[in-house]
């Protein structure tokens, strides 16, 4: 899908390489495209937003609970797989792939390509009230690993040559960083984050 879309854009615009911005699991999928599917020939840069490059303990927890075949956990897995990857036909496999163990293997098999510029960005919640949907997972991760956006630990989102922790007067959740609520969060204009990424890439000549 990504290769076809980029090929269509190349045909329409005459561009030979593209700067890609990907959120959450989209960053993992794009890294796979670049490294394993040889997409590096079409990609100048990858900027990931709140991507669990080192996995997330939420996935490990859910997979452990899944072994008990708990109905509530199965529903949680389906819901969270939607947040990570859309309408997945195999939600359990999707969540498992984002476990700390599986991402360690993924990173070994999908190293960064020398001709692609990688950078990463992430926000964090400061309290459960920042986004009630992520309140429980935020508290679980905070107790286990510290700063997080309700889904991804801050340290797991770090990847590439540059990393920026997006701070706000109010915490920004895993979904909030995508401008899902269509308004400023605290003192942060979410669309401006993406404009700044684009301008920064331009300043680098990419």
For residue 50, the 8-state DSSP code is S
Q: What is the pLDDT of residue 205?
A: 93
Q: How far is CA 87 from CA 37, 52, 81, 82, 103, in A?
A: 23, 19, 8, 6, 21
What is this structure's pTM? Answer: 0.89
Element of type H or E holding 48? strand 43-49
Give 7: exposed, middle or buried? Use CB within 10 Å, 0-12, 13-18, 19+.
Answer: exposed
Cβ contact 81:151 at 8 Å: no
Distance from C-alpha of 158 to C-alpha of 27, rounded to nearest angstrom:
12
pLDDT by 10s per residue, the chain, length 206: 898 999 999 999 999 999 999 999 999 999 999 999 999 999 999 999 999 999 999 888 887 765 545 655 565 666 666 656 555 555 667 778 899 999 999 999 999 999 999 999 999 999 999 999 899 899 999 999 999 999 999 999 999 999 999 988 899 999 999 998 888 888 999 999 999 999 999 999 99
Domain extents for the chain?
2-203
Which two structure tokens, joined as six digits, stand for 126?
């400061």
CATH no. for 2-203: 3.40.50.1820
Element of type H or E holding 44? strand 43-49
Which two structure tokens, joined as six digits, stand for 40?
């590096």
Q: What is the pLDDT of residue 27?
A: 97
Q: What is the pLDDT of residue 181?
A: 83
């Amino acid at each position: 899908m990504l290769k076809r879309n980029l090929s269509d854009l190349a045909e329409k615009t005459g561009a030979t390489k593209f700067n890609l911005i990907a959120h959450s699991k989209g960053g993992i999928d794009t890294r796979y495209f670049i490294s394993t599917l040889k997409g590096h020939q079409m990609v100048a840069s990858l900027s990931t937003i709140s991507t669990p490059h080192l996995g997330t303990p939420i996935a490990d927890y859910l997979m452990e609970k899944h072994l008990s075949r708990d109905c509530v956990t199965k529903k949680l897995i389906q819901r969270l797989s939607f947040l990570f990857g859309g309408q997945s036909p195999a939600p359990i496999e999707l969540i498992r792939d984002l476990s700390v163990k599986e991402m360690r293997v993924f990173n070994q098999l999908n190293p960064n390509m020398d001709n692609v510029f990688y950078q990463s960005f992430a926000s964090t919640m400061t309290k459960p009230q920042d986004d009630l949907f992520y309140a429980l997972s935020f508290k679980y991760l905070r107790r286990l690993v510290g700063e997080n956006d309700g889904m991804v630990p801050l340290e797991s989102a770090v990847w590439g040559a540059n990393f920026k922790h997006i701070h706000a007067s109010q915490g920004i959740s895993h979904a909030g960083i995508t401008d899902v609520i269509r308004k400023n969060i605290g003192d942060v204009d979410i669309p401006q984050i993406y404009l700044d990424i684009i301008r920064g890439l331009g300043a680098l000549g990419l």
